[in-house]
A and B are shown apart, each in its own frame.
Chain A
Amino acid sequence: MQKTLSPSVGKGTIFWNKVKTFFSKPQNAILVILGLVCTFTTFAPIIAIIEDTIVIHPGTIDAVLTKKSSGYSFINYVNLFTSNIAKIHLWTPLLNTVILAVGSCAVSILYGGLFAFLVTRTNLKFKKYLSAIFIFPYIMPQWTLATVWKNLFDSIAVTHTRDGVLAGLFGINMPEWWCAGMFPSILVLGLHYAPFAYILIGGIFRNMDANLEEAATILNTPKWKIMTRVTLPLIKPAILSTILLVFGSSMGSYPVPHFLGLTTLSTKYIELNSQRTGQASILAVIMMLLGVAIMYVNQRSLKSRKSYTTVTGKSGQISKINLGKAGKVIIAVILVLLTFFTSIFPIISFAFETFLPNPGDYSFLRTFDFNNLTAKWWITSENVTENGMYGQKGILFNEMIWKGFGGTVLVSVACALCAGVLGTLIGYAVSKKRRSRLAGYVNAVAFLPYLMPSIAVGIAFFKLFSGTINLYNTYWLLIIVGTVKYIPFASRSSLNSMLQLSGEIEEAAIIQDTPWYKRMLRIIIPIQKSSIVSGFLLPFMTCLRELSLFMLLCGQGLILSTQLDYFDEMGLYAFSSGINLILIVTILVCNALVNKITGASLDKGIGG
């Protein structure tokens, strides 16, 4: 280095110049600011919840065991892991959680993957219809299928609740393992997340260079061998991402195991929360650890395979497998029937439930006498103590429900805006500074909440904001939590699309001294419109139907999904079904509207 520093240039000036240069690039400023924010929003709740496991809560088991009313102790760990309650409070739920998560992964990958294969690689009939309808279970609230399952198979004789359609109508009582517990939970969650598998795996099937398979065909490789040696390895990255998404999400699912009577870590947490608060927090920590572990495993296995994570080809002529004249229709009809049950039937079922005079009274289906139906659940506006309304006004006049609806929309819109804007900025800044460590860190930290079970994130924020800053039961809290949890949706979809955008497009504007906001608003956002809209849309849709994340953060009245849970607990199935219906219709209408207006849709941009 030449020593040509003139004495007037001090070290401070140089440093200051460097700082100024660094921050004159908006992507640097974004990374630093959002890096700090995300570090706080991701780690503060985690630390809060870990602290909660060792702090002594007055009036709970740890206070009783230690005979202290404050301070710190490891008694919760000792008690939870070693005492005679360990099996029912820890090991059984843990085992159930793992089985549930693994099972859901298997179901969703098999069903979604097979569907993706049939739609993209064969000459199946009704592809367009099937492809659209297959996404429905993901759009609908998670518990939809669970409640449908209950509506279908519950019976007084077996589940001791009420008679579902099968029992009430035909007197068929399904065995207990079929009605509740592990089997239906796996099936329901698997079906709910199968669209993930379809979108991710189907995407690769669609873009895969058919030449790869054709090359094998030319070499006279048998079809099954092409499948196992060429095709499957190619879709492996998609399968791994599906596992990542489904495992994390199903592990933290509360409503499905709750409705279907399965004990998992999340349901156990709710059960333990009031009496054994510290121990419940340990369960939450375990869930987080599982989430981080699955991410780690996933990254390890992806790293060595990176080379073909983006297989795209130009060859548009994918050789379609011929299912035969009858085959292509028969399989299609089977799929139409299946998707009818997973996608259309729930809507009909919910609608129907709201017209039953009493829960489980399916006499209409036997008699087809319209006197056996009633609109009272919708239109009753007075005399709420009579007519068996349990003190509630009909849905259309029920202030609480409409207030909840307003709250849900408010939270969803706010979360979508915040998460969408922040996520887009993160995606932009990370794509600009691809190689830098800071960008890698911000990207990872912003993505982390996505992999942690919703309920655990909810718990963590509950711990963080129930102390000195008390935000419990406010929309603020829900919006903050929703934003943190959903930023990954937006940052992923914007990052993926920004990476497609040549840097020159923006540089051409920089050269002409275009200010940053103008570059974003006039060039980058218009070009990436559709994926940025998905970045707003995904948080919005997911937020509308979110329960696991929010249930601990507010009372039952604040938003619709918690009300639904409340009415379900109360046995007012007409109300819970009605709320379900409102949510589903809202989501479908929004999806259709946004799709019409911007061309973006929910099925784009899913996929970590």
Chain B
Amino acid sequence: MPKIVLTDVTKRWGNFYGVDHLDLVIDDCSFVTLLGPSGCGKTTTLRMIAGLETPTSGRIEIGDQVVFDSEKGINVPANKRHVGFLFQNYALWPNMTVYQNIAFGLKNLKKYNKQEIDEIVKRVARVVKIEPFMDRYPAELSGGQQQRVAIARTLAPEPQVIFMDEPLSNLDAKLRLEMRAELQRLHLTTGRTFVYVTHDQMEAMTLASKICLIENGVLQQYDPPLTVYGRPNNLFVADFVGSPSINFIEAAGAQNAESGDMLLTVFDGKPASFRFTKAVSMGAWREEEKRAADAVAQAKAERAKDKKNVEKGNVDKVFDYQIMRVEDDGSVKREPTENDYVIGVRPEMIEIAEEGGLEAEVYSAMPTGMETTVRVRVGNFLLTGVVFGGVTYEIGSKVHVKFKKEGIMLFSRISGKLIGTGGLDV
């Protein structure tokens, strides 16, 4: 059964690294989404696995077959990898009818006779509900129908793995939701491995059994969606996933040696304390982080010895998070020290309650009926919260804000990495 293993896969053009030493294991029957902003290398990764793009170096296995190995000079062409690929623009052949489009690939398999092909085509057409259009040409179909034909064509040869490259991005919002649900059903009914590329974090969250978040060619996090959401590895992941976006609060302070709480100052001088849900010793954490950073640096130095190595032109940077302010006060982020932190607060972690310790003013409120997105102002800072139910707030009214006792994230400002989660008291 096919399990896809990528080992140290790199793709670069000149000194631009599209994919930078990526290690990834995709389990059989899983639904993995490759997520990231545009140009981060997710499509390149997918195309390399499918064989449409040749990696610069590394090793790719599908099942027990090595399909690419730069050191052994192995490169199995795409047509021999027996995978399915669903293209962003569908890539339907405009000169063939829907039926011919689906049947075309089957004829190459040679193992089917005409009648069997006919049966398969009809079966997959039924799955995606396009039976009435079999004699039409792609140009005579709507976007959603073309999409279904493309899916049918991909499913017809029964590939073990199906790759999808932003398959829903050309559809309108309503259709996208519909197709999303259908894809999920499809994954369940076909039992194939799905690898799915998207830049839409909602799509990734809702569909995937595991999200692989990539930025600047580097793997940021590879975990189930809720872990990615609740325990993001770093500031970038925290910011990229979630809508409305996470709130970042800059903080400075140190760990209380006895209680293990972090005693911090936030919002230009307000005292606060952060209690880890699972105790973290800052000293140990720093050591651990240093060891990891050293290992990375050492690997890099090792690679630099190789003559063929090319310095990465698109340099990796610590994510430049944005602090929401009412007015830009022109303050420049100062160089972070060891005692600088960033607190990440998901909108639903903010509660508006009488007993809240933080005084705030409602800046804007946007009720949708199911929930209300409310933005409050604390001094010059803005916080976004989500309150469930049809609550309305008067803009400008004074409220009190408090934070939940768990699920709040604490990041190091130097490296942008997650230290732990816990509760915040202001």
> Which A residues form the contact surface with B (CB < 8 A)?
1-2, 4-5, 9, 13-18, 21, 24-25, 502, 504-505, 507-515, 518, 522-523, 526-527
Q: B85 touching A527 by the CB < 8 A rule?
A: no
Among B75, B79, B153, B308, residue most surrounded by chain A Cβ atoms (within 10 Å): B79
> Which B residues form the contact surface with A (CB < 8 A)?
8, 50, 52, 57, 71-75, 77-80, 82-85, 87-89, 91-96, 104-105, 108-109, 153, 157, 303, 306, 308
Residues in chain B near residue A21, CB distance under 8 A: 73-75, 77
Residues in chain A near residue B88, CB distance under 8 A: 504
B75 CB to nearest A CB, Å = 4
CA distance A117 to B50 in the complex (A): 49
A498 CB to nearest B CB, Å = 15
A513 CB to nearest B CB, Å = 4
Residues in chain B near residue A25, CB distance under 8 A: 77
Interchain residue pairs A-B with the least CB separation, the first 8: A512-B105, A17-B73, A504-B91, A14-B73, A508-B91, A513-B79, A526-B95, A21-B75
Given known contacts A15-B73, A510-B52, A511-B85, is B104 in contact with A505 (CB within 8 Å)?
no
B7 CB to nearest A CB, Å = 9
* 8 CB < 8 A contacts A-B: A5-B71, A25-B77, A504-B89, A505-B93, A509-B93, A510-B52, A512-B79, A512-B157
B146 CB to nearest A CB, Å = 12
Q: A515 touching B108 by the CB < 8 A rule?
A: yes
Residues in chain B near residue A514, CB distance under 8 A: 79, 104-105, 108
Q: B78 touching A511 by the CB < 8 A rule?
A: yes
Q: B153 touching A508 by the CB < 8 A rule?
A: yes
Our pick among B8, B77, B108, B109 for the contact of A24 (Cβ within 8 Å) is B77
Beta-carbon nearest neighbor of A435 in chain B: B13
Q: B72 touching A509 by the CB < 8 A rule?
A: no
Q: Per DSSP, are chain B's interface residues mostly helix, strand or loop, or mixed?
A: loop
Residues in chain B near residue A505, CB distance under 8 A: 91, 93
Our pick among B57, B94, B105 for the contact of A527 (Cβ within 8 Å) is B94
Residues in chain B near residue A16, CB distance under 8 A: 73
A532 CB to nearest B CB, Å = 13
Among A4, A507, A522, residue most surrounded by chain B Cβ atoms (within 10 Å): A507
CA distance A514 to B109 in the complex (A): 9
Residues in chain A near residue B96, CB distance under 8 A: 522
CA distance A17 to B74 in the complex (A): 6
B305 CB to nearest A CB, Å = 9
Among A16, A21, A508, A511, residue most surrounded by chain B Cβ atoms (within 10 Å): A511
CA distance A18 to B68 in the complex (A): 11
CA distance A37 to B173 in the complex (A): 53
Q: B50 touching A511 by the CB < 8 A rule?
A: yes
Q: Taking A505-B93, A508-B91, A511-B52 as given, write out 10 further A-B residue pairs in contact, using a Cβ cutoff of 8 Å, ordered by the A residue number.
A: A2-B8, A16-B73, A504-B89, A507-B87, A507-B91, A508-B87, A510-B79, A513-B109, A515-B108, A527-B95
Our pick among B75, B87, B303 for the contact of A504 (Cβ within 8 Å) is B87
Q: A14 touching B157 by the CB < 8 A rule?
A: no
B342 CB to nearest A CB, Å = 36
CA distance A25 to B308 in the complex (A): 25
Residues in chain A near residue B108, CB distance under 8 A: 512-515, 518
Given known contacts A511-B50, A512-B79, is B71 in contact with A14 (CB within 8 Å)?
yes
B32 CB to nearest A CB, Å = 18
Residues in chain A near residue B80, CB distance under 8 A: 513
